[in-house]
Structure 1
Amino acid sequence: MSEFQLPPIEVVPTLSTIERSSILDALFEPCQALRTLSLDVLHTQKFDSYFDLIASVGVQLTELSESPSTSDTEWLDQILGAHPRLGEKKVDSAQSKAEQAQLNTGGEEEATKLRELNAEYEKTFPGLKYVVFVDGRQRPLIMEDMRSRIDRGDIKLERAEGIKAMCDIAADRSAKLQQP
């Protein structure tokens, strides 16, 4: 994990824009579209916990997914697409690097299959990347899940699963990044 630690939840509304951006980047992924969507909420709302903050962002994302506006859908897809590809070797966020480390331990055959699944997923769901809360699950189980989601072919359901996974990942990160 990174050296970054989340500040106490009660000070979040008083933080600078840069500090609030750092919180969003650490919990989710660095993404300008997410910052634009959620920075103001972190400034104007008080939260009892980081889980409440994450739930509030989840509500914003769900509202985008349920909106009839194409621009809202495109906005959401930018946010969901900010996650690195599963099994990617070059990952920018320290949190994602640590989370994906276990996925990069299999053989080259599995790595090739994962790259192929990522490509097929992104062709099936243009603008999205497969997002899942890894949480110790092994590569074959994750690839099975990816295969079933590709075969299902339901982009609305895929966006909903992506939002849930992002929030689950953020909740896990918040537990690891809070000051002792």
Structure 2
Amino acid sequence: MSSFQLPPVEGIPTLTTTERTAVLDALFEPCTALHTLSLDFLHDKKFTSYNDLIASIGVQLSDLSESPSTSDSKWLDKILGAHPRLGEKKVESAQAKAEQAQLNTGGEQEAVELRNLNDEYEKTFPGLRYVVFVNGRSRPVIMESMRERIARGDINLERAEAIKAMCDIAADRAIKLQ
């Protein structure tokens, strides 16, 4: 985990843009599209807890998901696509690296299968990455979930599940970074 510590949630509106960006990057993943969507929102709204802040961003993401606008869907996909691929060796954020550590412990055959599933997922849902709250689940369990979601083939459900997973991940990170 990184040495970054979240500031008190009550003070978020008074933080600089750079500091609010660091909060978003620590809770979610570094993503210019998320910064554009949420930085002013974090400046204008007071939050009672990090769960409140995360839920509010979840609403922003859901609003994009439910919008009939193609540009809103593309914007959301940029945000959801900011998460690293599952099982990747090179992961940018310290939080994602720690969360995925257990997925890099299986054999080479499982690693190849996970890479292939990532490829298949991204072909099925162009612009998206498979986002899931790993939360101690094993690579085989995660890969079975990937197969089910690929077979389902519903991009709207994928976006909804990815938003929920992003918020679950952010809530878990908030606990660890306070």
Q: CA deviation at 1:167?
A: 0.2
Distance (whole Å) between structure 2 residues aligned to residue 41 and residue 52 of structure 1: 13
Counterpart for residue 58 of structure 2: 58
Counterpart for residue 149 of structure 2: 149
- For structure 2, the residue ranges without an aligned partner over 5 or more in a row are none
1:152 alignment partner AA = R
Large movers: runs of 4+ above 6 Å: none
Query: Residues 21-60 of structure 1 correspond to what in structure 2 (within 5 A)?
Result: 21-60=21-60
Distance (whole Å) between structure 2 residues aligned to residue 19 and residue 12 of structure 1: 8
- For structure 1, the residue ranges without an aligned partner over 5 or more in a row are none
* TM-score, scaled relative to structure 2: 1.00
Counterpart for residue 112 of structure 1: 112
**Superposed CA offset, 1:124-178 (max 9, x none):** 0000000000000000000000000000000000000000000000000000000
2:165 alignment partner AA = A
**Superposed CA offset, 1:30-85 (max 9, x none):** 00000000001110100000000000000000000000000000000000000000
1:173 matched to 2:176: no
Counterpart for residue 121 of structure 1: 121
Counterpart for residue 135 of structure 2: 135
**Superposed CA offset, 1:89-144 (max 9, x none):** 00000000000000000000000000000000000000000000000000000000
Distance (whole Å) between structure 1 residues aligned to residue 8 and residue 73 of structure 2: 33
Distance (whole Å) between structure 2 residues aligned to residue 61 and residue 8 of structure 1: 23
* TM-score, scaled relative to structure 1: 0.99
2:169 alignment partner AA = I
Aligned length: 178
Counterpart for residue 79 of structure 1: 79
Distance (whole Å) between structure 1 residues aligned to residue 41 and residue 175 of structure 2: 21
Distance (whole Å) between structure 2 residues aligned to residue 39 and residue 171 of structure 1: 18
1:30 alignment partner AA = P
* DSSP-derived class of the 1:60 partner: helix
1:176 alignment partner AA = K
Counterpart for residue 158 of structure 1: 158
